[in-house]
Amino acid sequence: MPLSRRALAAAFAVCVALPLSACGSSGGGSADADASGKVEGDITFQTWNLRANFKDYFEGVIAGFEKKYPGTKVKWIDQPAEGYADKISADAAGGTLPDVVNVSPDLVAPLAKAGLALDLDKVAAKYKKEYLDGAWASHQVPGLQGTYAFPWYLNTGPLFYNKTLFKEAGLDPEQPPKTYDEVFDAALTMAEKTDGKVATLANVPTIEDFGRYGVPLMNKEGTAFAFNDTKGVELLTKYKELYDAKALDPQALTATPESSGKKFLTGAVAMNPGSALDLGNFKKQAPNLYKNIGITDQITSTGHVNMYVMGVMVNAQTKRTPAAVAFAHYVTDAEHQMSFAKKVAIFPSTAGSLDDPYFTKEDGTDETRVRVAAAKSLKNAVNYTPVLFSEQMKTALRNEVAKALQGKESPKEALDNAVEACDRLLRQQG
């Protein structure tokens, strides 16, 4: 194709002459927002992949709210699991964020910094006492004053193990490991007895694992990462040993929660963390396995298990602040969290809810046993994932951990590099 240089120059001139819009919102102020007005108007509520299974529940909640506050109308939109962060980013950059949004702490942090999340300490401080302290604090962002989302449901889970595989390896299926050391020993035995065919763990250590092992993740001010201390190096060194012995699955470096779940189902891996929810899955997907599943507590060296927190934030730029705040509170109040928890294996973040007999009384079934144990452990659980730990940082840590496991770097070097990379990303977040 003959192209003259002049044509090229012309094309570029045309392109560059086009006016450029510097997109991206310039962070609206949330300071003046006021939630004390009349609760009225149309608002939009966005959830994260809850429609497929809980359509009736949410429609019920919305109908209840609209009845309680005549003159309001809630439009519910639900986004699928994949691409949620991309969706929120595009909306945030384009100024089309819904009024009330289902978020997790790591999503809230950048939104709060950009002035897009409403500070609830300013407009909704009166509701603070209704929630567990730890849950309320989970949407606070280091470096910023305030709390940027109502805590919603919590989740944590036990560790599942395959009794058959334990038996075959000569381990006692009724005495599952309870500490990190016991897990590591069991894993090495399993690998040795099965000639490396059956691994015990399917995932490389994540930031939560470091937290549960007792490694300090950040400095006190929350301005730099600190998980490269001796304790962190010790954990990674141990994992390296497991990896070399094939006690950590050889595919662990590329594993996702889904793929490791699958491995557990196929009996390629002997242990897998999960939640009460997974029990149902096991029953459905691998009926043969279900009979042989053992359940034990999450392993932790700190006395605190890890929990995941979901939140509901209010868009700082909403035109209907009173209605949006009222609805965000309504969805997350004790009554509605409790009824949601009875629909699906999640746990309410409201004070006192976990003392409900539903979470304390056993009835002999596996489901109840898991639920009661989890509810008990949640009372002092910690959300180990730092609020400022972005996707990019997760990847950086994961890749450095992989280098250590492959032997390309020593555990110490790998963690030093990971901390350096995460600190740099933290500074670049602005």
Partner 1 sequence: MSVIDKAPPAPARPAAPREPRITDEHGRRVRVWELALRYLLLLGVLALTVGPFLWQLSTSLKGPTEDIFSSPPRFLPADPTLHNYERVADTIPVWDYALNSLKVAAANVVTNCVGAALAGYALARLRYRGRTAATLVFILAMLVPVEGIIIAQFTTMRELGLNNTLIGVVLPGCVSALNVLLMRNAFLNLPYEIEEAAFVDGANVWQRFLRVAVPSVKGTLAVVAIFAFMGAWDDFLWPLIVLSDPSKFTLTIGLNYLHGTFANDERLVAAGTIIAVAPLIALFACLQRYFFRGVGEGAVKG
Partner 2 sequence: MASSTVSRVRRQLPSSPWLFAAPGLLITGAFILYPFVSTLVNAFTDRRTLIPGEFVGLANFSELLHDDMFWIGLRNSTLYVLVVVPALVVLPLLLALLVQKNIPGITFFRSAFYTPVVASIVVVGLIWVWLLDERGLVNSVLEAIGVGRVGFLSDQWLLLLSAMAVTVWKGLGYYMIIYLAALANVPRELHEAAAVDGAGAVRRFLSVTVPAVRSTMVLVGALSSVAAFKVFSEVYLMAGPSGGPAGEDTTLVMLVQRTGTGLTGRVGYASAISVVVFVVTVALMLLVLRADRKDAS
Residue 78 contact, options partner 2, partner 1, none, Cβ 5-8 Å cut-off depending on partner type = partner 1
- Would you give the binding string for partner 1 spanning residues 267-286, x where CB under 8 A is met? x---------x---x--xxx
Block residue for tokens 């490389």: 204
Among 13, 22, 52, 81, binds partner 2 (CB under 8 A): 22
Decide if 316 contacts 123 (C-beta within 8 A): no
Residue 429 contact, options partner 1, partner 2, none, Cβ 5-8 Å cut-off depending on partner type = partner 2
Q: Which helix (H) or strand (E) holds 92?
A: helix 84-94
Among 52, 195, 357, 430, binds partner 1 (CB under 8 A): 52
Burial class for 254, CB neighbours closer than 10 Å (0-12, 13-18, 19+)? exposed
By CB under 8 A, is residue 242 in contact with partner 2? no
Among 28, 73, 93, 253, binds partner 1 (CB under 8 A): 93
Nearer to partner 1 among residue 47 and residue 300 (C-beta) = 47
What torsion do the CA atoms of 394, 307, 338, 130 make, to the nearest 10 degrees? -100
Phi, psi for 423 (deg, rounded to 5): -60, -40
Report the nearest approach of partner 2 to the CB of residue 89 (Å): 5
Please tell me whether residue 246 adopts helix, strand or coil conformation. coil
By CB under 8 A, is residue 198 in contact with partner 2? no
Q: Please count the other Cβ atoms lying within 10 Å of the Cβ belonging to residue 189.
A: 17
- Would you give the binding string for partner 1 spanning residues 308-347, x where CB under 8 A is met? ------------------------------------x---
Token representation of residue 36: 């004390």
Among the listed ranges 65-73, 135-143, 308-316, 391-399, the one in contact with partner 2 (CB under 8 A) is 391-399
Among 49, 164, 301, 399, binds partner 2 (CB under 8 A): 399
Specify which residues 295 forms β-bridges with. 160
CA dist., res. 247 & res. 250, Å (int):
8
CA dist., res. 343 & res. 396, Å (int):
37
Of 150, 147, 149, the C-alpha closest to 130 is 150
Please tell me whether residue 165 adopts helix, strand or coil conformation. helix
Among the listed ranges 58-66, 75-83, 221-229, 402-410, the one in contact with partner 1 (CB under 8 A) is 75-83
By CB under 8 A, is residue 292 in contact with partner 1? no
CA dist., res. 76 & res. 58, Å (int):
8
Question: Of how many residues is the chain composed?
Answer: 430
By CB under 8 A, is residue 253 in contact with partner 2? yes
- Which residues, at least 6 apart from 16, have a Cβ–Cβ distance to it below 8 Å? none
Report the nearest approach of partner 1 to the CB of residue 58 (Å): 11
Rg (the chain; Cα; Å)? 24
CA dist., res. 49 & res. 116, Å (int):
22
Nearer to partner 2 among residue 366 and residue 420 (C-beta) = 420
Decide if 296 contacts 161 (C-beta within 8 A): yes
Residue 94 contact, options partner 2, partner 1, none, Cβ 5-8 Å cut-off depending on partner type = partner 1
By CB under 8 A, is residue 262 in contact with partner 1? yes
Residues near partner 1 (CB under 8 A) are: 1-4, 7-8, 10-11, 21, 23, 44, 46, 49-54, 77-83, 86-87, 89-91, 93-96, 98, 258, 261-262, 265-267, 277, 281, 284-288, 344
Site for partner 2, rule CB under 8 A: 1, 15-16, 18, 20-27, 85-86, 88-89, 92-93, 107, 110-111, 113-114, 116, 250-251, 253-254, 256, 259, 262-263, 266, 268, 390-392, 394-395, 398-400, 402-403, 406, 408, 425, 428-430
